[in-house]
């Protein structure tokens, strides 16, 4: 039997010979899908650094496709992810980039369907740990491990305070929070990771605040 890579031999539980290149890649793909809200119609995957150099041998392409299909890192279907993506009518295109990035295990995903487009940049830090570092050109830091929400809002006075007040009133502890904006007075984004489950009632309360335009929920 001919094996496509060591990933096929070791199997999906181990997620290939490198947790950075396979388990981490799968998690980036899955978080990107969550941010998109559903399975995209097309994914253009830009690979940088060591991802670009070894993606076939380490099964990075399979892992990313599997994540986009909402497969967890140990899912036994990952070795067939590219074929399953075709069957699910999801086009996956890989682009090898020569640009030097801050982290060697970097991937930029462009997710598209007939209604929207999303661009996500993620890095695989090691041991299956990842960070989402950019979302539609917004700089951020999102691990994908904790319950979190991304709050898109107008960059106006009092919005951050209003959101954190809702959290405090509902006794929700914030473990990590950051705010970024593209331009003063324009669109901004809060990344809020919390220790508790976020109930729909809390999300609706935040969504109803003045100047809040969108909420993206991450992890139950």
What pLDDT digit, counting tens, does each position of 23-62 carry? 899 999 999 998 898 999 999 999 999 888 888 888 899 9
Q: So what's the pLDDT on residue 20? A: 60
- Average of per-residue pLDDT values in the chain: 86
Q: How many CB atoms lie within 10 A of CB 4?
A: 14
Say if residue 101 is in the same domain as residue 157.
no
Same structural domain, 168 and 128: no
| CATH code of the domain in which 211 resides | 3.30.70.260
Query: Could you say which of 136, 168, 196 is where a domain stops?
Result: 136
Contact between 111 and 117 (Cβ < 8 Å): yes
**Cβ distance 44 to 2 under 8 Å?**
no
Residue 169 lies in a domain: yes
167 phi and psi, to 5 degrees?
-60, -45
* Count of domains for the chain: 2
For residues 175-180, average pLDDT: 90
> Is residue 199 in a domain?
yes
Give per-residue pLDDT as tens, 121-170: 999 987 778 899 999 888 888 877 778 899 999 999 999 999 999 999 99
> What is the reported pLDDT for 56?
84
DSSP state of 157: T
Q: Is there a domain that residue 179 lies in?
A: yes
* Domain-embedded: residue 1: no
Q: Which residue has the higher pLDDT, 69 or 3?
A: 69
Percentage of residues in the chain with pLDDT exceeding 70? 90
Burial (CB count <10 Å: 0-12, 13-18, 19+), residue 220: exposed
Confidence of residue 19 (pLDDT cuts 50, 70, 90): low
pTM of the model: 0.79
Query: In which band, very low, low, confident or very high, does the pLDDT at 18 lie, cut at 50, 70 and 90?
Result: low
Domain boundary among 108, 136, 164: 136
Q: Are 130 and 85 in contact (CB under 8 A)?
A: no
Q: Which residue range forms the structural domain that includes residue 88?
A: 6-136
């Amino acid at each position: 039997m001919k094996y496509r890579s060591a990933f096929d031999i070791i199997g999906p539980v181990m997620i290939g010979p490198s947790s950075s290149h396979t388990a981490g890649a799968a998690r980036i793909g899955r978080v990107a899908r969550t941010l998109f809200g559903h399975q995209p119609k097309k994914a253009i995957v830009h690979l940088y650094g060591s991802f670009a150099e070894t993606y076939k041998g380490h099964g990075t392409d399979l892992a990313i496709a599997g994540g986009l299909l909402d497969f967890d890192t140990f899912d036994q279907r990952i070795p067939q992810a590219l074929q399953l993506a075709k069957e699910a009518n999801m086009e996956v295109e890989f682009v090898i980039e020569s640009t030097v990035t801050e982290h060697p295990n970097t991937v930029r995903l462009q997710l598209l369907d007939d209604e929207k487009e999303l661009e996500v940049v993620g890095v695989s830090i090691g041991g299956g740990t990842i960070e989402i570092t950019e979302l539609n050109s917004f700089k951020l830091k999102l691990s994908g491990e904790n319950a979190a929400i991304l709050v898109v809002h107008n960059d106006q006075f009092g919005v951050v305070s209003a959101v954190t007040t809702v959290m405090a009133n509902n006794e929700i502890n914030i473990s990590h929070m950051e705010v970024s904006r593209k331009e003063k007075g324009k669109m901004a984004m809060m990344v809020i990771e919390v220790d508790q489950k976020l109930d729909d009632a809390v999300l609706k309360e935040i969504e109803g605040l003045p100047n809040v335009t969108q909420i993206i929920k991450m992890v139950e």
